[in-house]
Amino acid sequence: MEGTRPHSTMKPFNLFLVLLLLAGSVGVFYITMRPGIKRSVQLENRQFYLDGKPFFPLAVNYMASTQFDGQTMWPLSAFDYHENQHETRNRNDAHRQLLAEFTLIRDLGFNAIRFVGIGEPSIDEKGDGHLEVFTRSLDGEGISFDLRSDSALNIYFNALDDLFNTASEAGLQVVYLIRLRPQFTSTSNLLRQFCKRFKDHPALMAIDIYNEPLYFDQPEKTKEEIYPIVKHWRKIIRTYAPHKLVTIGLVGIREVFRWDPNILDVDFISYHPYEYEPEQVRNELYWYSKHTNKAWIVGETSIPSDNDSVPYTDQAAFAEKTIRQALACGASGYSWWQYKDVNWQKYHASYMGFLNRTGYTINSKGDTISGSLKPVAHEFKKAFQQWPADTCLRLPNYANYSSSTAFRLSGKVTDEKGRGIEGAVVLAWNEFWSHSYHTVTQQDGRFELLGSFPFYHWIASAAGYTMVRGDVSPEEAVNTDSIPTVNMPDFIIRRF
C-alpha cells in the first residue's frame, strides 16, 4: 500500500555484508574501468610497466602543430617537416596524415612518442605573462591564439585530446613536453588545467616539465632555488593527475651544477646527450649509470646525416652503439631526435631525423608518407632483439673527452670529512667565459682537467652535493710532463 514500508526479514549483519560486498564490487569495477588507472604506465624500481607487463619506452621526438578554422583547432604534423611551410590540411586530412606517420613510427619498433612544440606556448614576458600558442588559419596565415579564456583553453585542449587519441590509435604512449617557467604563474596554471583535463588519458605516460634548463633557464639559479620550484610543479601533478609520471629533460653531466638530477622531485630523468666530442654520448651514459639516484632514460640523442658530409651508415652505427650502451648501463628507455629532417639552415640541427625530405615511404597500412627512410630507421627494432649481454663501457677518454694538452688543472674533490667523491664534475672556462672543458673525478676524488687554452674560472659539484666555484691564475702554472699545470687545493662540497 502506498506509503507503507515493507518489513525486511534480512538480519542486520547479513545486510551489512551484502552492502560491503556490493561496495567492494563497485569499487573494483570503478578501478578496473578508469582508463587512467588501468592503462597508465607505472614505474617501480627503475622498471616501467604497462598493463602490468614490463615496458621499455622506445620513443621518437615528434614536433606537432595546430590549425584553427575560427571555431575548432586540430593537430597536425609540424610545418617544419614539409617543403611547403604554409601547407594546410582540413581536420580529416590532418588526422589521416598524423595516423599514417604514427603508424610508420610504430612499424619501426617505437612504442612511445615525445611531443614537442605543441605544448610550448609563448609567454608575454614584458606584459602580464599570458600564454599564446602559434597556430595557422586555413589559408596558412600564422595566428597567435590567446589562452586566457576558459573557452580558448578548451579549444586548445581539444586539439591535444585529438593528438593523444591518434597516438593511442597507433599504439604509442605519450611523453608530453609542457613549457613551465617559475617566474610566470600562468605556466603553473596551464599545468594545473592540463592535469585536470588529461589526468585519466590512457595514452599519456609522462609530463615533461622542462626542456634543457642548462640552455633555457634564465636567469641562472642555484640548487637551493631550483629544489622548491620542481617540488611545486610536482605537487600540482600529484594533486590533479596522480597517476601520471613526471620527468625533466636535462642536457647531461653539466646540469649537475644547478639542475642536479639527484635533487629533483621527478619520477625519472630524461637525459639529452649529443656527440659534440668523440664518444661523448657513451661516456655520458656511463656517468648516468653510476651517479643518478633514480630511473633515467635517453630522452634525446642523434647525430646528423645527409649521406654526404656524414654517411647514413655512420648515423645507423651511432644508434646501434648508443642503444646497446644504454641497455648495458641500465637505462629504462631510449628516445631518438627526431622523426624527420628539417630545414633550419644549420647542418647539425637539420639532418637528425630517421626520415629525409625526398621521395616517399609506404607504411604497413598502405599509407603514403612524404620522405624516405634512412638506414638508421631500421636499427630501433633491434633494441628488443636478444643481443648478447653487453658491459657498460668506461671508454678511454671518459675523464677527458678532449685530447688537448695546452693546459691542466689538477686537484681533488672531497666531502667535509676529506673523503674523495667519485664522479664529481669539474668545469673550467677561458678568461672571457666563452669556452670551457669539464672532467669527472676518479674513485678517490682526484681529477685532471685538460684544455686547449689556459683556465681562469672553475666550478665543481657532484650529483646530490652543493657547488663551489672560484678563479685560477694561469701564471701559477708549472710544467708537469710538458703541460702547464696548476695544482689546486681540495674542492670541498657537502651533501645537499
**90-117: average pLDDT:** 97
> Contact at 8 Å (CB) between 297 and 331?
yes
Position 34 scores a pLDDT of 37
Task: Write down the pLDDT at residue 179.
Answer: 97
pLDDT at 2: 32
Q: What average pLDDT does this structure show over 101-127?
A: 97
Statement to judge: residues 108 and 221 lie in one domain:
yes
Q: For residue 164, give Cα distances in angstroms to 82, 102, 202.
A: 22, 11, 9
Residue after which a domain boundary falls, among 327, 349, 384: 384
Q: Is residue 10 part of a domain?
A: no
Distance CA 17, CA 19 (A): 5
Is 18 contained in some domain?
no
Residue 190: predicted pLDDT: 98
Comparing C-alpha atoms, which of 55, 37, 386 is closest to residue 243? 37
Residue 70: pLDDT band (50, 70, 90) is: very high
- Residue 9, C-beta contacts closer than 8 angstroms, at least 6 positions apart: none
* Residue-level pLDDT at 386: 61
pLDDT of residue 83: 80
Structural domain contains residue 393: no
Q: For residue 234, what is its C-alpha cell?
A: 610536482
Q: Are strands 204-211 and 245-250 parallel, antiparallel or unpaired?
A: parallel
Q: Same domain, yes or no, for 322 and 434?
A: no
pLDDT in tens, 261-291: 999 999 999 999 999 999 999 999 999 999 9
Q: Do residues 378 and 290 both lie within one domain?
A: yes
Grid coordinates 610550448 are at which residue?
Answer: 120
- Both 331 and 480 in one domain: the answer is no
For residue 166, tell me if it sits in a domain. yes
Q: Would you say residue 4 has pLDDT above 80?
A: no
Q: Cell for 208?
A: 615533461
3-state secondary structure of 116: strand
Do residues 321 and 273 both lie within one domain?
A: yes
Task: Let me know if residue 2 belongs to a domain.
Answer: no
What distance in Å separates the CA atoms of residue 170 and residue 173, rounded to the nearest whole number?
Answer: 9
CATH number of the domain that residue 434 is part of: 2.60.130.10
Nine cell digits for residue 494: 657537502
Q: Tell me what the pLDDT averaged over the chain comes to.
A: 92
For residue 17, the model assigns a pLDDT of: 37
Cβ atoms of 367 and 103 within 8 Å: the answer is: yes
If asked whether residues 373 and 413 sit together in one domain, one would say no
**Contact 59/82 with Cβ under 8 angstroms?**
no
Which of the listed ranges 4-18, 85-99, 350-364, 387-401 does the model predict with the highest average pLDDT? 350-364
CA distance 251 to 213: 8
| Calpha distance 267→243 (Å, rounded) | 11
Last residue of a domain, one of 351, 384, 417: 384
Same domain, 418 and 362: no
**Range in 308-317, 385-394, 405-414, 461-470 the model is least confident about:** 385-394
Residues 361 and 464 occupy one common structural domain: no
Radius of gyration of the CA atoms of the chain, in A: 26
118-275-401 Cα angle (round to 5): 140
- pLDDT band with cut points at 50, 70 and 90 for residue 33: very low
Q: What is the mean pLDDT of residues 200-210?
A: 98
pTM: 0.91
Domain harbouring 110, CATH code: 3.20.20.80
The predicted model gives 40-50 an average pLDDT of: 96
State the pairing for strand pair 122-123/131-136.
antiparallel
Judge contact between 121 and 133, C-beta under 8 A. Answer: yes
Q: Is residue 420 part of a domain?
A: yes
Task: Take residue 383 and report the three cell numbers written for it.
Answer: 633494441
Name 256's Cβ contacts closer than 8 Å, sequence gap at least 6. Answer: 425, 461, 462, 463
Give 1's Cβ-side CA count (13 Å radius). 1
In this structure, are 448 and 367 located in the same domain? no
Q: What string of DSSP letters covers 119-140?
A: T--EE-TTTT--EEEEEE-TTS
Last residue of a domain, one of 353, 384, 415: 384
Q: Are 337 and 302 in contact (CB under 8 A)?
A: yes
Within a domain: 366: yes
Instruction: Report residue 87's pLDDT band, with 50, 70 and 90 as the boundaries.
Output: low
Residue pLDDT, tens place only, 141-193: 899 999 999 999 999 999 999 999 999 999 999 999 999 999 999 999 999 99
Quick: pLDDT tens for 421-455: 999 999 999 999 999 999 999 999 999 999 999 99
Residues 428, 307: one domain?
no
CA–CA dist 41, 496 (Å, integer): 31
Do 330 and 414 lie in a common domain?
no
Domain count along the chain: 2
Are 343 and 422 in a shared domain? no
Residue spans of alpha helices (H) in 298-378? 312-328, 347-350
- Determine the Cα–Cα distance for residues 487 and 481; give it in Å rounded to an integer: 13
Q: What pLDDT does 9 receive? A: 34
Give the relative orientation of helices 185-198 and 150-169 as an angle to the nearest 10 degrees: 50
**Domain of residue 272, residue span:** 43-384
